[in-house]
Amino acid sequence: MIERPESTVASIAQRNLEGYVGFANLPNQVYRKSVKRGFEFTLMVVGESGLGKSTLINSLFLTDLYSKDYPGPSLRIKKTVQVEQSKVLVKEGGVQLTLTIVDTPGFGDAVDNSNCWQPVINYIDSKCEDFLNAESRVNRRLMPDNRVHCCLYFIAPSGHGLKPLDIEFMKRLHDKVNVIPLIAKADTLTPEECQLFKKQIMKEIQEHKIKIYEFPDTEDDEDHKLIRKIKERMPLAVVGSNVVIEVNGKKVRGRQYPWGVAEVENGEHCDFTVLRNMLIRTHMQDLKDVTNNVHYENYRSKKLAAVTCNGGVDLSKTKNQMTRSPLAQMEEERREHVMKMKKMETEMEQVFEMKVKEKKQKLKDSEAELERRHEQMKKNLEAQYKELEEKRRHYEEEKSNWESQQRILEQQKLDASKTMEKNKKKGKIF
Amino acid sequence: MAATEIARQAGEGARAVPLAGHVGFDSMPDQLVNKSVNHGFCFNILCVGETGLGKSTLMDTLFNTKFEGEPTQHNQPGVQLKSNTYELQESNVRLKLTVVNTVGFGDQINKEDSYKSIVEFIDTQFEAYLQEELKIKRTLHSYHDTRIHACLYFIAPTGHSLKSLDLVTMKKLDSKVNIIPIIAKSDAISKSELTKFKIKITSELVSNGVQIYQFPTDDETVAEINSTMNGHLPFAVVGSTEEVKIGNKMVKARQYPWGTVQVENENHCDFVKLREMLIRVNMEDLREQTHTRHYELYRRCKLEEMGFKDTDPDCKPFSLQETYEAKRNEFMGELQKKEEEMRQMFVQRVKEKEAELKEAEKELHEKFDRLKKLHQDEKKKLEDKKKSLDDELNGFKQKKTAAELLQSQAQQAGGSTTLKRDKERKN
């Protein structure tokens, strides 16, 4: 149900070692370093008051987390849902564990429980946010991991099924945190009732598509069998107790009733041991890994997607953007913009050139036109000049002709008149 | 290895409580180890050194296997980095080993830029990791880490001192990668020369401020052996993949006429020390140092370069979104400004060109106006001439007609006179 990230396999050459190298010691190096660093774990318990949450925590970690000096939240009266955390440091076998228990007093206790899950969600998100901010700083140093690694959800032992509040809560939290549902105060159910109850709960969980924490598959057959056994017992029915009672000469933790003792660590009485082994001894690391690789990454990608893809959401583009870091995203956008600008530039350039060419052409044309007209006019004028010259020449010729004619006539006339005069003088005497 | 396992504060604000029995979380280291073993390990070594110093042979000897590659020639034009990845397995531990070789290092005449391609390569790996880390949808869990975890710097066995190329290169690399200097082909140096050589090298490194990798001494389990080994740096090694029979065992050795140098004999060379330190004891620490020191430094510089800060001028911490958004807005603003600028420039050009063309047009018109005027003048002159000619013509015509009239009159009169005379004569 919860997807686990797959490892990618690259094409790599295999080589066989021909002798001792020594990197088989790497696991020891890792061991050594991890012990030196110490471990952290944050466990959240959610459920109505009186379901024995604090007692279970004390039983799980064999300590008085909640004691007279540090009373558990359930002993204090709450009006609204609170989220409280207690941090303790425990040591065992040289291994140091910083354990944070997050309690939610007031959950489901009000008359109107709408949104009583909201403070819980806010808390989980705020821890993820803190981690995200720490991870995104420029100067990163100590990054404490305060994210909630596991959420134990306590179901009241009604024997019937899940309550609407249970379903609502689990649905809202199953993709934010590893949810492990538990049947609380299981000593009020007989084994058969318990079986039926478990079946019913699992059925309802599947119906509502609630993704509770799933154990990872292993290749190891033995482990696989163990895991199968655990899966069959889900949800685990638990009983908690701080009181140590003597049963058959053995000191055990249990609850004393007139009709007997319900032993906490007895596998036939309840699933406490299974829970403890799973939560602490075998799968603590895996719970942290799933939180880191799945839940936190979900939170992170949603958060970052909201930042970088703000504004218009084009689905095809968004998908592409998701696989890029925001910085690469900006790089890409910049490149796109540069290309766009280049294109715009060339387009504008083209239009510009074209217009200039047009204008120039026009100018040339009108110049040619004017030239032509001017030429024509000039020719015209020249023709006229020629004509005029012709005419003048003609006239001059005619004039000179006539003038010479006139002169001859004049001469004749003169001669004639002279002769006449002479004649007149001569001839008049008859 | 989860990228989030940067050193955490242990239990701050937490009160210590005693446990009333065995809870079982002391299996946590085992859980972690199991997870790591299942996931497999990865280690990347960079070998820097001149051609022919036995880098490939040493790798083969260290990892007891034959890696790829033929010996390279000396005529490479520049320094190239060739990387090969191999999957090795020893008992139940799988190791993805990447060996990166510098090909052509120290062969060029001008070696000023030799270190550049190495630095570039290392930075590229950091960049790839950084990009992955910054992605929105990322898969760090299954990311194949290619960052260089250890750099074996091969020093030529001259016996005198470090070459300037060595000093320059190591100085450029010491803030980017864990440098482990080793004296290569040390079977060419005698023991006394070796001691002097090592001292000389160490003092030169110190005086030049080169930070080589120190084996960590903070963990009691290995503090002692690490500090002893720190004193033996740089390791003088000999590599060989050939085996020679010594006694009744086959050992890796180099056979000379005067004797046999056994690779795994600690009296002959420091090979075993190198293997111990590099692989058996400190491999994980090398990886951690690369991630928490060198990579963080690179990341910090890169982000600062891009203008990211942790606090704004009022010293309030920036949240990631604010930073990104601010960056993005700034960026978009820049882009828009650029666009505007370009547009403005174009408008300007258009204006200029328009003015130019208008000028040209104006000139043209003026020219033709002038010509037209000239033409008009000419025409006028012509008209005047024509007119004067016409006047002359008219005048002449008149004269002619007048003269002709006179003539005809005179003729008539003359004719009659002549007639009279003739008449008189006849009479």
- From chain A, the residues in CB contact with B11 under 8 A are 38, 87, 89, 96, 98
pTM value > 0.90:
no
Q: Which amino acid is at B103?
A: V
Task: Write phi, then psi, for B379 (nearest 5 degrees).
Answer: -60, -45
Residue B282 touches chain A, beta carbons under 8 Å? yes
Among partner residues B32, B309, B342, which is closest to A345 by beta-carbon distance?
Answer: B342
Contact A210/A151 with Cβ under 8 angstroms? no
Query: Cα(first)–Cα(last) distance of chain B, in Å?
Result: 171
Instruction: From B287, B285, B150, B273, select the one nearest B217 (Cα to Cα).
Output: B285
Q: What's the full length of chain B, in residues?
A: 427
Instruction: From B160, B166, B173, B169, select the one nearest B199 (Cα to Cα).
Output: B160
pLDDT of B5 over the 90 cut? no
Mutation target among B135, B310, B342 for the A interface, most CBs of A within 10 A: B135
Confidence (pLDDT) at A260: 87
Burial classification of residue A292, based on how many CB atoms lie within 10 Å of its CB (0-12 exposed, 13-18 middle, 19 or more buried): buried
Contact B72/B103 with Cβ under 8 angstroms? yes
Residues 277-296 of A with CB under 8 A from B: 277, 280-286, 289, 292-293
CA of A249: how far to CAs of A239, A244, A245, B21, in Å?
Answer: 21, 12, 9, 18
Contact A384 B85 (CB under 8 A): no
- From chain B, the residues in CB contact with A297 under 8 A are 137-138
Q: What is the pLDDT of residues B241-276, one digit of tens each?
A: 888 888 888 888 888 898 888 888 888 888 999 998
Confidence (pLDDT) at B243: 84
CA atoms of B191 and B267, how far apart (whole Å): 10
Burial classification of residue B39, based on how many CB atoms lie within 10 Å of its CB (0-12 exposed, 13-18 middle, 19 or more buried): middle
DSSP H/E element including B355 = helix B320-426
CA atoms of A286 and A67, how far apart (whole Å): 30
Contact B14 A384 (CB under 8 A): no
Residue A409 touches chain B, beta carbons under 8 Å? yes
- From chain B, the residues in CB contact with A41 under 8 A are 25
Mutation target among B17, B318, B379 for the A interface, most CBs of A within 10 A: B17
Residue A339 touches chain B, beta carbons under 8 Å? no
Contact B32/A34 with Cβ under 8 angstroms? yes
Residue B325 touches chain A, beta carbons under 8 Å? yes
DSSP H/E element including A387 = helix A326-427
Confidence (pLDDT) at B329: 78
Contact A281 B25 (CB under 8 A): yes
Task: Write phi, then psi, for B94 (nearest 5 degrees).
Answer: -100, 135
Residue A27 touches chain B, beta carbons under 8 Å? yes
Tokens of A397: 């010729």
Q: What is the pLDDT of residues B190-242, one digit of tens each?
A: 888 888 999 999 999 999 999 899 998 888 888 888 988 888 889 999 988 88
Contact A15 B12 (CB under 8 A): no
Residue A137 touches chain B, beta carbons under 8 Å? yes
Contact B292/A41 with Cβ under 8 angstroms? no
User: What secondary structure letter does DSSP report for B237?
Assistant: -
Contact A351/B352 with Cβ under 8 angstroms? no
Residues 40-69 of B with CB under 8 A from A: 41, 43, 62-68
What residues pair up with B252 in beta bridges, in sequence order? B243
pLDDT of B296 over the 70 cut? yes
The predicted complex's ipTM stands at: 0.70
Three-state DSSP class for residue A237:
strand
Q: Give the full edge-to-edge strand order of the sheet including B179-183.
A: A13-14, B80-90, B93-103, B41-48, B150-155, B179-183, B235-236
Residues 68-87 of A with CB under 8 A from B: 87
Better-predicted residue by pLDDT, A187 or B318: A187
Contact B389 A391 (CB under 8 A): yes
Residue of B nearest to A279 (CA): B25
CA atoms of B296 and B304, how far apart (whole Å): 12
Tokens of A203: 């059925």
Tokens of A162: 């899940």
Residue of B nearest to A283 (CA): B31
Contact B321 A378 (CB under 8 A): no
Instruction: From A73, A107, A102, select the one nearest A88 (Cα to Cα).
Output: A102
Residue A386 touches chain B, beta carbons under 8 Å? no
pLDDT tens digits, chain A, 430 residues: what are they? 444 443 333 457 777 777 788 888 889 999 988 998 889 999 999 988 888 888 888 888 888 776 655 555 555 555 667 788 888 888 888 899 999 999 888 888 878 888 888 889 999 999 998 888 888 888 887 778 889 999 999 999 888 888 888 898 899 999 899 999 999 988 888 889 888 999 999 999 999 998 888 877 776 777 778 788 888 888 899 988 888 888 888 888 888 899 888 888 888 888 898 899 888 888 999 999 999 999 999 998 888 877 655 433 444 444 444 555 666 666 777 788 778 888 888 888 888 888 888 888 888 888 888 888 888 888 888 888 888 888 888 888 888 888 888 788 778 878 877 787 777 777 655 4
Q: Inter-axis angle of helices B28-39 and A26-37, to 10 degrees?
A: 140
Quote the percentage of chain B above a pLDDT of 90: 19
pLDDT of B311 over the 70 cut? no
B165/chain A closest Cα distance in angstroms: 32
Confidence (pLDDT) at B4: 34
Task: Write phi, then psi, for B397 (nearest 5 degrees).
Answer: -55, -50
Confidence (pLDDT) at A327: 64
DSSP A162-231: --HHHHHHHHHHTTTS-EEEEESSGGGS-HHHHHHHHHHHHHHHHHTT-----PPP-S-HHHHHHHHHHH
Three-state DSSP class for residue A321:
helix
pLDDT band at residue B316 using 50, 70 and 90 as cut-offs: very low
CA atoms of B58 and B406, how far apart (whole Å): 145
Instruction: From B13, B383, B387, B57, select the one nearest B242 (Cα to Cα).
Output: B57
CA atoms of A230 and A215, how far apart (whole Å): 9
CA atoms of B135 and A145, how far apart (whole Å): 21
Confidence (pLDDT) at A18: 75
**b/e per residue, B297-317, with b = 16+ CB within 10 A?**
ebbbebbeeeebebeeeeeee
Q: Sign of the CA dihedral B228, B229, B235, B241?
A: positive
Three-state DSSP class for residue A1:
coil
pLDDT of B25 over the 50 cut? yes
Among partner residues B8, B385, B396, which is closest to A144 by beta-carbon distance?
Answer: B8
Residue B293 touches chain A, beta carbons under 8 Å? no
Residue B141 touches chain A, beta carbons under 8 Å? yes
- From chain B, the residues in CB contact with A334 under 8 A are 331, 335
A231/chain B closest Cα distance in angstroms: 20
Residue B413 touches chain A, beta carbons under 8 Å? no
Confidence (pLDDT) at B114: 81
Tokens of B389: 């000619």
- From chain A, the residues in CB contact with B386 under 8 A are 388
Cα A287 to chain centroid, rounded:
24
pLDDT band at residue B320 using 50, 70 and 90 as cut-offs: low
Better-predicted residue by pLDDT, A70 or B87: B87
B161/chain A closest Cα distance in angstroms: 31
Residues 171-200 of B with CB under 8 A from A: none
CA neighbours closer than 13 Å in the CB half-sphere of residue A183? 29
Cα B68 to chain centroid, rounded:
28
